[in-house]
C-alpha cells in the first residue's frame, strides 16, 4: 500500500509577491495549493520598483479573481490610505542624471545632463516603490488567512515524477514528503529547477553584462536639495526627482536610488561587466569585496560621494551585498508538470524597472493555463509561454544593452532610452484597449515582444546603434543623425512626444491613461 502523504493540486516554491499571488488566485479558481518558502518573513529583498504596467495587472487581478484589497496597492494614494503600515515609497517616474568621472555634476537650463520621464499625473495616481519585506510579508499573511497551506523554513530537496509529483522537503531537520499534480517555481532563482529537473541555465547569449552592489541606507539627503545648493533650477521638473526611480548614469554603469516614506533609501551600483574599471582589471573586480567596489565608485564621482557622505546602512540587511552576473536564462522555462515564473526563468537588468511587471505578466498567463479544461490545451499554452519568455528576454536584453553602450554619451543615451519607453507605452495602450473592449485576450507578450512590428522597430534601432563608431568623440552631425533615426523608427508607437527637442528632456506625461 502506497504511503499517504499530503496531496495538493499545485505546489508553489517561493513566497515572494508572485508566489503568494499565484496561490491566492489559484485557490480562487478552485485549486488546492501549498506554498513552500525556504526563508522566513519578513525578509530583505530588492525588486522594489513598480510601473504603470505592473499596476494595471494588479488591478486586473483584483477585479478578475475577487481580491478587492489588492486594488489599493496599485496606486500610491490608495495604498497610503488603506494600508499605511505596509511601507512604500512614491514613484512618479524615471529620472536620469549624467555624471562624469572626477567632476561634480553639472547641467544647464536646457537640462543637457538630465532626463525626467513622468509615469503619472499626480502623487495620488502614482506608481510605488515596494518595501519588499513589508509587502511580501503582508501577502503571506493573506495566504495564511485564506487557509492555504504555508510551510516556511522548508527546502525542497528532491522530486519523483510518476503518476504525480512526490516532493521531499527538509524542515526543522526532518524530511517530509508531499504530493502534487503540478509545480510552480516562484523562487526567482534557477537553482531549484537545476536541482529537481536538471534544467541548465546560461548567460552566454546576452548582450548585457552587469552585476550589482547594493543595500538599504538611511540619512540620505535629497538629490534635489543638493542640486539647489549647486545653483540649479528645478522649477520646470514634471515631479520631484527624489520621489521617482532615480538613476545616476556613470561611464561604468549606473546607480539607483529608490526612496521610501520612512526615510530609508534603496541604493545600488549596477556596473558593466564587459570592461575593467579604471585602475582595476576585471579579474581583480571579480574577487573584490562589495565595500571596496562601493568606495571605489563613490571616489570616482564627487557629487555622489558628497551625497552619500552622511548616509548609514539600515539595520536590514545591515551590510553591502554583491550579486554575481545578473543575466541568466533557463534553457527550458516549462515542462509537462512544472513552470517557472519570469524572474525564475531569466533576468536581464534592473534598468527601467521591468522585473515586477514582467513577473506579473507571466503570472497572468500561467493562471490562464490553469483555466483550461483539457490537458492538451494546457500543454500547448505552456509551450507558447516558454517561447514567449525567450522572445521577451531577447527584446529586453537589446533595449538595456543599448543603454550601456551609450552611457558615456548622454545625448545618445537619452535617444536610445526612448526606444524602451516607446515599447512600454505601446504595451500599456494595448492593455487599455483590451480592457476597454472587455475581451479576454492577453497582450502579445510583455512589451508586445510577440508583435513583429515591435521587434522590427527595436532591431532597426539596434542596427543604427551598431553603426556608430566605437569612440566617444561623436560630432553634432552624428548625434543628430542618430536622434533622427531613432525618432523615425519609433514614430508609429510614439504617442507621447518622445524625442521632442522642445521639451528639453522634461516629459510631463508619457504613459497610457492608467
Q: Nearest-CA neighbor of 308 among 377, 366, 192, 226?
A: 226
Residue 476 falls within a domain, yes or no? no
Which DSSP state fits 513? P
C-alpha grid cell, residue 105: 555634476
Q: Nearest-CA neighbor of 483 among 492, 493, 473, 474?
A: 474
Residue 192 C-alpha from the chain's centroid: 21
Which residues, in sequence order, are CB contacts of 293 under 8 Å at separation 6+?
213, 269, 271, 285, 322
The DSSP result for 295-323, as a single string, is HHHHHH-HHHHHHTTT-EE-TTT-S-EE-
Residue 262 falls within a domain, yes or no? yes
Judge contact between 212 and 270, C-beta under 8 A.
Answer: yes
Residue 29 falls within a domain, yes or no? no
Alpha-carbon distance of 498 to 234, in angstroms, equals 20
C-alpha grid cell, residue 401: 544593452
What backbone torsions phi and psi does residue 175 show, to the nearest 5 degrees?
-80, 135
Alpha-carbon distance of 362 to 406, in angstroms, equals 30
Alpha-carbon distance of 253 to 248, in angstroms, equals 9
CA dist 7 → 169, 187, 497 (Å) = 14, 21, 55
Q: Which helix (H) or strand (E) holds 178?
A: strand 174-185
Alpha-carbon distance of 25 to 129, in angstroms, equals 23
Q: Which residues pair with 249 in a beta bridge?
A: 98, 254
Judge contact between 251 and 408, C-beta under 8 A.
Answer: yes
Number of Cβ within 10 Å of residue 502's Cβ equals 5
pLDDT for residue 236 is more than 90? yes
User: Quick one: pLDDT at residue 445?
Assistant: 92
Residue 277 falls within a domain, yes or no? yes
CA dist 353 → 51, 129, 187 (Å) = 7, 10, 19
Q: Which helix (H) or strand (E) holds 285?
A: helix 282-287
User: Quick one: pLDDT at residue 470?
Assistant: 81
Q: Nearest-CA neighbor of 141 among 267, 236, 17, 274?
A: 17
The enclosing domain of 219 has a CATH number of: 3.30.9.100
Report the predicted TM-score, pTM, of the whole model to 2 decimal places: 0.95
Residue 341 falls within a domain, yes or no? no
Q: How many domains does the chain have?
A: 1
323-382 per-position pLDDT tens digit: 999 999 999 999 999 999 999 999 999 999 999 999 999 999 999 999 998 999 999 999
Q: Collect contacts of 491-499 with beta carbons under 8 A, ≥24 apart.
A: 492/453, 492/457, 493/422, 493/423, 493/425, 493/426, 493/454, 493/457, 494/418, 494/422, 494/425, 495/425, 495/429, 496/421, 496/425, 498/418, 498/421, 498/422, 499/415, 499/418
285-312 per-position pLDDT tens digit: 777 899 999 999 999 999 999 999 999 9
Residue 271 falls within a domain, yes or no? yes
- Residue 305 structural domain: 89-129+210-322
Parallel, antiparallel or unpaired: strands 210-218 and 201-202: unpaired
Q: Which helix (H) or strand (E) holds 91?
A: strand 88-91
Which residues, in sequence order, are CB contacts of 47 under 8 Å at separation 6+?
16, 130, 132, 188, 343, 350, 355, 356
Residue 397 falls within a domain, yes or no? no
Average pLDDT, the chain: 94
Residue recorded with cell 530588492 = 46
Which DSSP state fits 450? T
Would you say the C-alpha torsion 179, 183, 187, 189 has a positive or negative sign?
Answer: positive
User: Quick one: pLDDT at residue 160?
Assistant: 96
Identify the band that residue 277 occupies on the pLDDT scale cut at 50, 70 and 90.
Answer: low
User: Quick one: pLDDT at residue 306?
Assistant: 98
pLDDT for residue 89 is more than 60? yes
Q: Which residues pair with 8 in a beta bridge?
A: 180
Alpha-carbon distance of 117 to 396, in angstroms, equals 19
- The mean pLDDT value for 236-253 works out to 97
pLDDT for residue 512 is more than 70? no
Alpha-carbon distance of 342 to 325, in angstroms, equals 17
Residue 10 falls within a domain, yes or no? no
- Lowest mean pLDDT of 62-71, 232-241, 429-438, 451-460, name the range: 429-438
User: Quick one: pLDDT at residue 491?
Assistant: 97
Q: For the chain, give me the number of helices (H) and strands (E)?
A: 15, 21
410-449 per-position pLDDT tens digit: 999 999 999 999 999 999 999 988 877 666 677 789 999 9
What backbone torsions phi and psi does residue 507 show, to the nearest 5 degrees?
-100, 110
The DSSP result for 9-52, as a single string, is EEEEE--SHHHHHHHHHHHHTT--EEEE-SS-SS------B--H
User: How much of the chain, in percent, has pLDDT values that exceed 90?
Assistant: 90
- The mean pLDDT value for 315-320 works out to 97
Amino acid at each position: 500500500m502506497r504511503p499517504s502523504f499530503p496531496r495538493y493540486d499545485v505546489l508553489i516554491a517561493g513566497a515572494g509577491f508572485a508566489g503568494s499571488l499565484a496561490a491566492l488566485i489559484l485557490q480562487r479558481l478552485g485549486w488546492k495549493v501549498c506554498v513552500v518558502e525556504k526563508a522566513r518573513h519578513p525578509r530583505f529583498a530588492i525588486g522594489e520598483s513598480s510601473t504603470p504596467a505592473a499596476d494595471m495587472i494588479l488591478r486586473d487581478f483584483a477585479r478578475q479573481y475577487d481580491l478587492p484589497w489588492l486594488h489599493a496597492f496599485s496606486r500610491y494614494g490608495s495604498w497610503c490610505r488603506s494600508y499605511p503600515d505596509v511601507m512604500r515609497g512614491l514613484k512618479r517616474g524615471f529620472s536620469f542624471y549624467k555624471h562624469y568621472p572626477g567632476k561634480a555634476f553639472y547641467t544647464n537650463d536646457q537640462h543637457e545632463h538630465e532626463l525626467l520621464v513622468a509615469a503619472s499625473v499626480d502623487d495620488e495616481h502614482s506608481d510605488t516603490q515596494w518595501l519588499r519585506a513589508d509587502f511580501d510579508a503582508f501577502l503571506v499573511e493573506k495566504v495564511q488567512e485564506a487557509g492555504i497551506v504555508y510551510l516556511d523554513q522548508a527546502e525542497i530537496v528532491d522530486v519523483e515524477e510518476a503518476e504525480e509529483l512526490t516532493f521531499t522537503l527538509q524542515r526543522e531537520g526532518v524530511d517530509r514528503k508531499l504530493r502534487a499534480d503540478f509545480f510552480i517555481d516562484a523562487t526567482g532563482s534557477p537553482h531549484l529547477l537545476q536541482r529537481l529537473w536538471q534544467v541548465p541555465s546560461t548567460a552566454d547569449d546576452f548582450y548585457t553584462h552587469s552585476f550589482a552592489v547594493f543595500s538599504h541606507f538611511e540619512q540620505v539627503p535629497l538629490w534635489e536639495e543638493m542640486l539647489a545648493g549647486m545653483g540649479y533650477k528645478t522649477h520646470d521638473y514634471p515631479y520631484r526627482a527624489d520621489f521617482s526611480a532615480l538613476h545616476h548614469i556613470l561611464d561604468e554603469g549606473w546607480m539607483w536610488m529608490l526612496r521610501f516614506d520612512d526615510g530609508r533609501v534603496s541604493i545600488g551600483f549596477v556596473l558593466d561587466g564587459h570592461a575593467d574599471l579604471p585602475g582595476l582589471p576585471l579579474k581583480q573586480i571579480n574577487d573584490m569585496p562589495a565595500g571596496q567596489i562601493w568606495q571605489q565608485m563613490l571616489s570616482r564621482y564627487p557629487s555622489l560621494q558628497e551625497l552619500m557622505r552622511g548616509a548609514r546602512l539600515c539595520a536590514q540587511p545591515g551590510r553591502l551585498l554583491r550579486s554575481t552576473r545578473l543575466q541568466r536564462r533557463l534553457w527550458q522555462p516549462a515542462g509537462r508538470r512544472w513552470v517557472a515564473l519570469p524572474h525564475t526563468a531569466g533576468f536581464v537588468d534592473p534598468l527601467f524597472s521591468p522585473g515586477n511587471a514582467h513577473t506579473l505578466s507571466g503570472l497572468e498567463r500561467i493562471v490562464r493555463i490553469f483555466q483550461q479544461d483539457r490537458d492538451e490545451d494546457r500543454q500547448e499554452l505552456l509551450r507558447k509561454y516558454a517561447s514567449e519568455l525567450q522572445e521577451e528576454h531577447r527584446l529586453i536584453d537589446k533595449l538595456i544593452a543599448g543603454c550601456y553602450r551609450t552611457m558615456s554619451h548622454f545625448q545618445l543615451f537619452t535617444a536610445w532610452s526612448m526606444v524602451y519607453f516607446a515599447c512600454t507605452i505601446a504595451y500599456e495602450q494595448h492593455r487599455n484597449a483590451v480592457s476597454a473592449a472587455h475581451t479576454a485576450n492577453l497582450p502579445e507578450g510583455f512589451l508586445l515582444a510577440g508583435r513583429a512590428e515591435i521587434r522590427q522597430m527595436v532591431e532597426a534601432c539596434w542596427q543604427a546603434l551598431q553603426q556608430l563608431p566605437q569612440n566617444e568623440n561623436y560630432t553634432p552631425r552624428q548625434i543628430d543623425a542618430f536622434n533622427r533615426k531613432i525618432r523615425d523608427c519609433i514614430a508609429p508607437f510614439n504617442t507621447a512626444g518622445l524625442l521632442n527637442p522642445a521639451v528639453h528632456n522634461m516629459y510631463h506625461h508619457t504613459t497610457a491613461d492608467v
